[in-house]
A and B are shown apart, each in its own frame.
Chain A
């Protein structure tokens, strides 16, 4: 019994040490990426195209819909649509919370799972060993461009999601209250604070790093069998969601501790 517990503790410790070492290497290589000229650049461009550009339609549709639903549900509360408080609520809910989190979930489902699956299959088909055999570290060639690509795409997509979320809310609010959309927009802009944008950008960038680093790690952790790939993909998705939520909570805590105004 004690021996079994000891074995599992040792195994867990080994896994955590390996994961930490892997992440350190990934981030170290990220700093070296710019000095390596052409190798990996195409992978970066393809990653931005897949994560950032191809997800635009689904992000805009989801954000528009959720932005509209917030107003439809909120309109059932008395005085919800009256006064400047509506704009602050929309900015806080959509820009600081829903935009980054919603975008993160879409990216986890779309790009995170794709990264783990692709890298896992490459391990199985010995393509990683082929990179090593020509003197290119696969983490530098495949992991780093994905880390940069997903993080940059996350920031841009979150901004895009914020715009569509707010647009959805204001459009429905305009229909319900009869106030012109342009007037609502100028009122919204006058309620924007710099901390709203900083929080949104910081969260989306950190979520991007978490999603990419987790997906890449699980992709590389496939050892030999094709059957491991879906298992690692599921773990990668679950772990990415958990880590993003923890990071979200920590960022909120830091913002509160630093005294940033919430309202």
Chain B
């Protein structure tokens, strides 16, 4: 296994929606232990890049490899192992509406270790809520809390198993100032612990202060890539 290189590599990826290219011949690499921001205007394909990298959507053409294995042709157990090592924070939270907040956080834990007892799960959920200052009853359903709170719970769901690679799809959307502050502190903590962070964002603070590398997308094509200073001309138009 390549411990320092690129765990996820895109090789000429094309994705079409109704015959239109949503991703057009995208080739890129995400560096291990680095924080990368994927930026671009709305509809440029940022979320799609994240979902493809996380193995949630497969390309129509080209391939995406996770540690040198093509994700689309992975065996089920290998795919599950990959997912156990990654976490995905969705733009619209995507909490399971028919499950309680506690169950939303317990399921990823049970998926990685079915031996957790109910007491273990309860403790982990309480600990997780406390880590972002959420004072919520875990038996509540997602519909009964605000969108900002849902986003925080969604972040906790993505990170409760301490993944090595964290995908953040517009993490600060719908968040108030206090929620954003807490979320950024948690993202920073993960970055400092050496996690690979891949995020789609418009937030200038995140882009400037929390990313090692920036990739710019336009109409599904990768138009620029590099450090903050290198892509500054593109950023002025987008952020």
Show the binding face of A for B, using Cβ within 8 Å. 36-39, 118, 122, 125-127, 129-137
Complex-state Cα separation, A137 to B90, whole angstroms? 17
Segment 188-231 of B: residues with Cβ below 8 Å from A:
none
A135-B80, A135-B83 as given contacts; A130 in contact with B94, CB under 8 Å = yes
Asked if A125 and B111 make an inter-chain contact with CB atoms under 8 angstroms apart, the answer reads no
Contact residues in A for B158 (Cβ distance below 8 Å): 133
Residues of B within 8 A of A (CB): 51, 54-56, 76, 79-81, 83-84, 86-88, 90, 92, 94-98, 107-108, 110-112, 114, 157-158, 161, 167
Q: Which residues of A contact B95 (CB under 8 A)?
A: 127, 130
CA distance A107 to B20 in the complex (A): 40
The 9 closest A-B pairs by CB, nearest first: A135-B83, A133-B88, A126-B94, A134-B108, A135-B80, A130-B94, A129-B56, A135-B111, A135-B84
Interface of A is mostly: loop
Which residues on B sit within 8 Å (CB–CB) of A37? 114
Given contacts A135-B80, A135-B83, A135-B84, contact A130 B96 (CB under 8 A): yes
Q: How many angstroms from the CA of A31 to the CA of B109 in the assembled complex?
A: 23
Cα distance, A127 to B111, chains bound together (Å): 16
Residues of B within 8 A of A136 (CB): 107, 111
Contact A129 B80 (CB under 8 A): no
Ordered by A's residue number, 14 sampled pairs between the chains whose C-beta atoms are within 8 Å are A118-B98, A122-B96, A122-B97, A126-B90, A126-B94, A129-B88, A130-B94, A130-B157, A132-B83, A133-B83, A134-B83, A134-B161, A135-B84, A136-B111
Q: How far is the CA of A215 from the CA of B92 in the complex (A)?
A: 26
Residues of A within 8 A of B98 (CB): 118
A127 to B103, CA, bound (A): 14
Instruction: Report the Cα distance A131→B107, complex, angstroms.
Output: 9
| A130 neighbours in B (Cβ, 8 Å) | 88, 90, 94-96, 157
Nearest CB on B from A226, distance (A):
13
**Shortest distance between the CB of B90 and any CB in chain A (Å):** 6
Give chain A nearest CB distance to B204 CB in angstroms: 26
8 new A-B pairs (CB below 8 Å) besides A127-B97, A129-B88, A133-B56?
Answer: A125-B97, A129-B90, A135-B80, A135-B81, A135-B84, A135-B111, A135-B112, A137-B76
Query: Taking each of A38, A125, A131, A135, which has the highest tally of chain B beta carbons within 10 Å of its own beta carbon?
Result: A135
User: B87 to A133, Cβ gap below 8 A?
Assistant: yes
- Min C-beta distance of B28 to chain A, whole Å: 20
How many angstroms from the CA of A133 to the CA of B161 in the assembled complex? 12
Knowing A125-B97, A132-B56, A134-B157, the reply to whether A39 touches B111 (Cβ < 8 A) is yes
How far, in whole Å, are A137 and B74 apart by their CA atoms in the complex? 14
Contacts of A122 in B (CB 8 A): 96-97
Residues on B with C-beta less than 8 A from A133 are 54, 56, 83, 86-88, 90, 158, 167
Cα-based distance from A65 to B74 in the complex (angstroms)? 55
CB nearest to B92 among chain A residues: A126
A94 to B79 alpha-carbon distance, docked (Å)? 49
Q: Is the CB of B94 within 8 A of A127?
A: yes
Compute how far the CA of A115 lies from the CA of B97 in the bound complex, rounded to whole angstroms: 15
Q: How far is the CA of A137 from the CA of B92 in the complex (A)?
A: 20
Q: How far is B97's CA from A226's CA once the two chains are assembled, in angstroms?
A: 16
Instruction: Please measure, in the bound complex, the distance between the C-alpha atom of A131 and the C-alpha atom of B110, giving whole angstroms.
Output: 12
- Structural contact, A38 and B114, CB atoms closer than 8 A: yes
Which of A39, A127, A129 is close to B110, meaning CB atoms less than 8 Å apart?
Answer: A39
Closest to A223 in B: B17
CA–CA, A131 and B88, complex, Å: 10
A162 and B3 CA atoms in complex are apart in Å by: 65
Q: How far is the CA of A18 from the CA of B6 in the complex (A)?
A: 33
CB-based nearest A residue for B99: A42
Nearest-neighbour CB distance to chain A for B156, whole angstroms, equals 12
Q: What residues on A are CB-neighbors of B161 within 8 Å?
A: 134
Smallest CB-CB separation from B107: which chain A residue? A134
| Assembled-state Cα–Cα distance A137/B111 (Å) | 10
Shortest distance in angstroms between A199's beta carbon and chain B's nearest beta carbon?
A: 36
- Distance, CA A137 to CA B80, complexed state (A): 9
Residues on the B chain within 8 Å of A36, using CB: 114
Smallest CB separation, A123 vs chain B (Å): 11
